[in-house]
């Protein structure tokens, strides 16, 4: 994939993209760790058949940033020809993860950022959402289907992500969630 093709994926060009958001296209060889420069200058050109395809989105921690996710996921779905069902699962899961990262993780502190890293390899997409908050224990999130929680507002994001992803893990004391989807 060329930088021009990634540029078409870039939602920064759309009018509703929050200021200070960044989209970084990356080529990552299988034996390399992901290295992301804040300016995007260390990114290599040209895809080889043995490389992973990756994109990173950096969002300021304000609720308006959440609106970027729908068009970003839609462009990813178009790029990889993802079925409508899987597209919906990715959209809901990533939106919930970004919402939780901005509002609960970073407490809407605009000096902090949320990073969304997408990696495609073979027939699978992995999406990592990371915040700069103090983390949480996903095992202690109340079950929203329990009778005492049915009428509670909120508290369904982690539940939905666990149900819609093919695999999910929480890392770095809950500051990072990685979701896998078969495509």
pLDDT exceeds 90 at position 173:
yes
Residues near 26 by Cβ (< 8 Å), separated by ≥ 6?
34, 36, 43, 44, 54, 55, 56
Burial of 95 (0-12, 13-18, 19+ CB in 10 A): buried
Strand intervals (E) in 30-112: 51-60
Interval 126-139: pLDDT, tens: 999 999 999 999 99
pTM: 0.74
Q: How far apart are CA 141 and CA 138, in angstroms?
A: 5
pLDDT exceeds 50 at position 94:
yes
Domain boundaries, the chain: 3-182
Instruction: Using DSSP, state whether 115 is helix, strand or coil.
Output: strand
Token duo for residue 132: 């700069």
Q: Which residues pair with 115 in a beta bridge?
A: 58, 130
Q: How far apart are CA 46 and CA 160, in angstroms?
A: 37
CB 130 within 8 A of CB 115: yes
Interval 110-119: pLDDT, tens: 999 999 999 9
Burial of 140 (0-12, 13-18, 19+ CB in 10 A): exposed
What kind of fold does domain 3-182 have according to CATH?
Heat Shock Protein 90 (3.30.565)
């Amino acid at each position: 994939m060329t930088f021009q093709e990634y540029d078409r994926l870039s939602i920064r060009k759309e009018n509703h993209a929050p200021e200070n958001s960044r989209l970084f296209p990356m080529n990552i060889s299988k034996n390399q760790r992901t290295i992301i420069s804040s300016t995007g200058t260390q990114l290599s050109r040209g895809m080889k058949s043995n490389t992973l395809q990756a994109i990173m989105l950096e969002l300021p921690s304000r609720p308006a940033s959440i609106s970027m996710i729908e068009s970003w996921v839609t462009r990813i779905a178009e790029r990889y020809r993802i079925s409508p069902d899987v597209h919906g699962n990715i959209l809901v899961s990533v939106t919930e993860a970004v919402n939780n990262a901005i509002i609960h993780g970073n407490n809407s502190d605009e000096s902090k950022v949320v990073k969304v890293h997408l990696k495609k390899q073979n027939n699978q997409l992995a999406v990592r959402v990371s915040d700069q908050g103090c983390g949480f224990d996903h095992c202690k999130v109340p079950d929203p289907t329990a009778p005492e929680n049915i009428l509670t507002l909120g508290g369904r994001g982690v539940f939905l992500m666990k149900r819609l992803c093919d695999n999910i893990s929480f890392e770095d004391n809950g500051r990072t969630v990685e979701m896998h989807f078969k495509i």
